[in-house]
Chains A and B, each alone.
Chain A
Amino acid sequence: MAFDWSSIPGSLPILWQGMIVTLQIALVGALVGILLGTLLALLRLSPSRLLSWLSAAYVTVFRSIPLVMVLFWFHLILIPLVVGLLFPGKRLELGFITALTAFSLFEASYYAEIIRAGILSVTKGQFNAGLALGMNRRQVMRLVILPQALRRMIPLLLTQAIILFQDSTLVYVINLDDFFRKAYNVGNTVGTLNEMILFAGAVYLVICTLASGCVRQLHRKLTVPAREIA
């Protein structure tokens, strides 16, 4: 069967609109995810049993449920419930808000694990050295441990952002028009579904390959000083 690529140039503006939605979800998801993830990681490692348990429970719950299921929950229950309480009687377009919230909260659980591992990779000796200098726990964490941990974690955080960028295609199940959904719709309408799916795949492939290549370069750069110290 022959391919017909002719519908692609004309649909680029529509696809670009979708790409903006995709990028917004990925960007907000990554930023909020990292902030919330850091908080969760710190709570997890805090001396308070209760806080540590709560953080662990949050992470475990989100990590044991499929993302599709999480999106269902936010789409049909959580977001309508909250919005219904805050703005009773109003009818709002909730798809985008749902996606932003769901991805931020979902990714936070994955970021929390990366950041926790990063913090734990800084040795106990560093912690003790900080305490021995008279700093309190919070200072040691902020001034000694986190700067080292973050440096080591940056490649992993970015890799997770690339995964998030790809996973954002799943907003398909809540009917949100991201890049892929737009491509799918155009293909369906014009009758070039195969071509549009392949084109969308190629776009993701190029972006993600380039991005992960950059992450690898960065990883190499970041590990050089570590080797010199050793």
Chain B
Amino acid sequence: MWLLDSTNHQSLITNHISLAAFDFSVFLRPSPESALNNLSYLLVGLGWSLLLALGSWVVAFVVGSVVGVMRTLPGRILPSIGACYVELFRNVPLLVQLFVWFFVVPDITPILGDWFKQQVPPIWQEFIAGTACLGLFTAARIAEQVRSGIGSLGTGQLGAGLALGLRRRQVYLLVLLPVAYRILIPTLTSEFLNLIKNTAVASTIGYLELAQRSASMAETTARVYEAFTAATLLYAALNLLVMFLARALERFTALPGFLGGDK
């Protein structure tokens, strides 16, 4: 496992302090970790971060919507199951959940676990565990938002749909969710931004995403300052890009005259 151990630490500090000037050329030097130069090495890491975020988002969006809808249904059982899901995934630290998915689950899953440990290449093991973890963790947060989004539409829209003879399932799919998602675009955007940031936690299981690669570049090149600055700027750039795309999506789905509020 990479991570920063303290033996290197002191030498890195001395290096860092003696070489105060920012050295751009380090990015063009070949990376000892791969056939690429250091900049490309980081960019590939950004790609893995983004891939993990997108994969997790699919899981989070689907599971979160289902759990969120469950919490708005009549009766006792389904809403309680939804509530338990949210409590469970919100009250265990992300890092612990990740270790559960990466270490524990493959060990206790009969047949499939052995296949996972023996046949799946390490990078994909890390990716799959990361996707399951971040996806289901983020789902709990999305569920709360979907629930409050549907709640904010009030019972009137549900009643109107039912009164027309639509089945409950149809009312959710044709009316409540399409409107709720539109209202939720800004909050879902910030959830996605959180998700991107959380992908850095996958560095702890050795997933070579951006943060992990910046740490390893810092270690191999002894240019800590450059490596971390580059990674930080790449995260910020990705942030900006996502916000820009979300604004575009918001404009694209906006309803004439409708401000996302009440009547």
A–B touching in complex (CB under 8 Å): yes
Give the segment of A9-17, A30-38, A142-150, A165-173 that binds chain B.
A165-173
Which of A73, A197, A212 is in CB contact (< 8 Å) with B100? A197
The count of A-to-B residue pairs whose CB atoms sit within 8 angstroms is 124
CB contacts (< 8 Å) of B93 on chain A: these are 166-167, 169, 180, 201, 204
**B33 within 8 Å of A by Cβ?**
no
Question: In the bound complex, what is the Cα–Cα distance between A139 and B99 (angstroms)?
Answer: 50
CB contacts (< 8 Å) of B197 on chain A: these are 64-67
**B92 within 8 Å of A by Cβ?**
yes
B113 CB to closest chain A CB (Å) equals: 9
CB contacts (< 8 Å) of A77 on chain B: these are 16, 224-225, 228
A208 CB to closest chain B CB (Å) equals: 4
Chain A, Cβ-Cβ closest to B104: A194
**What 0/1 pattern do residues 67 to 104 of A give for CB contact below 8 A with B?**
11100110111001100100000010000000000000
Q: Which of B162-212 contact A (CB under 8 A)?
A: 193, 196-201, 203-204, 211
B48 CB to closest chain A CB (Å) equals: 14
CB contacts (< 8 Å) of B199 on chain A: these are 66
CB contacts (< 8 Å) of A212 on chain B: these are 87, 90-91
Q: Which of A183-219 contact B (CB under 8 A)?
A: 184, 193-194, 197-198, 200-201, 204-205, 208-209, 212
Q: 30 A-B residue contacts at CB 8 Å? A: A64-B239, A65-B235, A66-B197, A66-B199, A67-B200, A68-B201, A69-B214, A72-B228, A75-B4, A76-B4, A76-B9, A76-B16, A76-B218, A77-B224, A80-B17, A81-B13, A81-B16, A81-B17, A166-B92, A167-B94, A173-B204, A175-B4, A175-B6, A197-B103, A204-B92, A205-B91, A208-B91, A208-B92, A209-B91, A212-B87
**B80 within 8 Å of A by Cβ?**
no
**A174 within 8 Å of B by Cβ?**
yes
Question: In the bound complex, what is the Cα–Cα distance between A38 and B196 (angstroms)?
Answer: 27
**B73 within 8 Å of A by Cβ?**
no
- Given A76-B224, A197-B103; 18 other pairs, CB 8 A cutoff: A68-B211, A69-B232, A72-B218, A73-B228, A76-B228, A77-B224, A80-B13, A91-B10, A167-B93, A169-B93, A169-B94, A170-B95, A172-B204, A197-B99, A197-B100, A201-B97, A204-B91, A205-B88
**B231 within 8 Å of A by Cβ?**
yes
Question: In the bound complex, what is the Cα–Cα distance between A91 and B11 (angstroms)?
Answer: 12
A80 and B235 within 8 A (CB):
no
CB contacts (< 8 Å) of A76 on chain B: these are 4, 9, 12-13, 16, 218, 224, 228
B108 and A194 within 8 A (CB):
yes
A82 CB to closest chain B CB (Å) equals: 11
**A132 within 8 Å of B by Cβ?**
no
A53 CB to closest chain B CB (Å) equals: 17
CB contacts (< 8 Å) of B6 on chain A: these are 175
Q: Which of B96-123 contact A (CB under 8 A)?
A: 96-97, 99-100, 103-104, 107-108
**A1 within 8 Å of B by Cβ?**
yes
Which of A69, A201, A208 is in CB contact (< 8 Å) with B231? A69
**B262 within 8 Å of A by Cβ?**
no
Which of A61, A64, A66, A200 is in CB contact (< 8 Å) with B96? A200
**B3 within 8 Å of A by Cβ?**
yes
Q: Is chain A's binding surface mostly helix, strand, loop or mixed? A: helix
For chain B, the count of residues having a C-beta within 8 Å of the partner chain is: 47
A132 CB to closest chain B CB (Å) equals: 31
B200 and A68 within 8 A (CB):
yes
Q: Is chain B's binding surface mostly helix, strand, loop or mixed? A: helix
CB contacts (< 8 Å) of B107 on chain A: these are 1, 194
**B52 within 8 Å of A by Cβ?**
no
Question: In the bound complex, what is the Cα–Cα distance between A174 and B3 (angstroms)?
Answer: 8
B22 CB to closest chain A CB (Å) equals: 13
**B236 within 8 Å of A by Cβ?**
yes
Question: In the bound complex, what is the Cα–Cα distance between A150 and B96 (angstroms)?
Answer: 32
Residue of B91, B94, B203 ringed by the most chain A CB atoms within 10 A:
B91
A61 CB to closest chain B CB (Å) equals: 8
Question: In the bound complex, what is the Cα–Cα distance between A167 and B97 (angstroms)?
Answer: 12
Question: In the bound complex, what is the Cα–Cα distance between A180 and B4 (angstroms)?
Answer: 18
A77-B228, A173-B203 known; A201-B92 Cβ under 8 A: yes
Question: In the bound complex, what is the Cα–Cα distance between A209 and B88 (angstroms)?
Answer: 8
B100 and A201 within 8 A (CB):
yes
CB contacts (< 8 Å) of B215 on chain A: these are 72
Question: In the bound complex, what is the Cα–Cα distance between A209 and B204 (angstroms)?
Answer: 25
